[in-house]
Amino acid sequence: MTSPKEISPGLVIQRFTPPLALADFRLIAFDMDSTLINIECVDEIAAAAGRKEEVAAITEAAMRGEIADYKASLRQRVALLKGVSVQHLQDVYANRLQLNPGADRLVAACQAAGMKVLLVSGGFTFFTDRIRDRLGIDFTRSNVLAVEDGKLTGKMVDQPWGDICDGDEKRRMLLETCERMGISPRQAIAMGDGANDLPMMGEAGLSAAYHAKPKVREQAMVAINSGGLDRLLEVLR
């Protein structure tokens, strides 16, 4: 292990790795909110309920690792969304959500190299399903918002794999996907920005922090602190 080294402005190698190629990997796993996309969806949904500031403060604390119980924090935030219409979610997707710079290019490069793509999120299927279809992503895992009469109930729906996709579930999904593909986790890349991404990043052969919280930058093998997601290609030949 060596000291962190900035190999070009805003791109830091936190831990020494030998020269790597995309061909060394078979899977890339992305967090969604603030990693693959530009927003925290739960915060933008909360805007319709007049609770964005309150919800965003909880989100920020959770992503910084200052809230130990991610599930409880998400339940708390979702409860504040009660009564928001599903149409508002569509408005968030259409008018607020954008792919982060370089997302298209990085995903396309990985797919061209024969890699599968996993989107694993503490966010919601309303958005992950649309991003999956937009980018041709192979696997997803995220949370389902409960809806009645076209409005959010303030709760989430349990799924066959469990109740909430938190950090532990992200890790399990990464390992489960690797097992399904017949590969080692060392053949996976994991990219994220928040504390709930650290469990899956710790299993991957290459972990990359994207414009991440300090705790995540410190533990990742590569930290992209400026520029787009495709800057990862600068360390993958």
Domains in the chain: how many in total? 1
31 is catalytic: yes
Q: What is the C-alpha separation between 78 and 153, in angstroms, rounded?
A: 9
**For residue 119, what is the domain's CATH number?**
3.40.50.1000
pLDDT of the residue at 2: 57
Residues 29, 190: contact at Cβ < 8 Å?
yes
Residues 108, 90: contact at Cβ < 8 Å?
no
Evaluate whether residue 45 is within a structural domain: no
Burial 172-199 (b: 16+ CB within 10 A, else e): bbbbebbeebebebebbbbbbbbbbbbb
Nearest to 102 by CA among 232, 237, 192: 232
HSE-up of residue 109 (Cα within 13 Å, Cβ side): 17
pLDDT of 216 strictly over 60: yes
Evaluate whether residue 196 is within a structural domain: yes
33 is catalytic: yes
Average pLDDT over residues 3-32: 89
Evaluate whether residue 92 is within a structural domain: no
pLDDT of the residue at 1: 46
The reported pTM is 0.95
Q: Could you list the residue range(s) of the whole structural domain that residue 229 is in?
A: 5-38+99-145+156-234
Using one digit for the tens of pLDDT, what is the confidence trace for 161-209? Answer: 999 999 999 999 999 999 999 999 999 999 999 999 999 999 999 999 9
Instruction: Report the chain's mean pLDDT, rounded to a whole number.
Output: 95
Evaluate whether residue 63 is within a structural domain: no
DSSP 8-state code for residue 11: E
For the beta sheet containing 206-210, the strands, ordered from the edge strand earlier in sequence to the opposite edge, are: 5-8, 11-13, 222-224, 206-210, 188-192, 27-30, 116-124, 139-148, 151-157
β-partners of residue 197 are none
User: Which entry of 24, 31, 129, 138 is annotated as an active-site residue?
Assistant: 31
pLDDT of 57 strictly over 70: yes
User: Which entry of 24, 33, 168, 197 is annotated as an active-site residue?
Assistant: 33
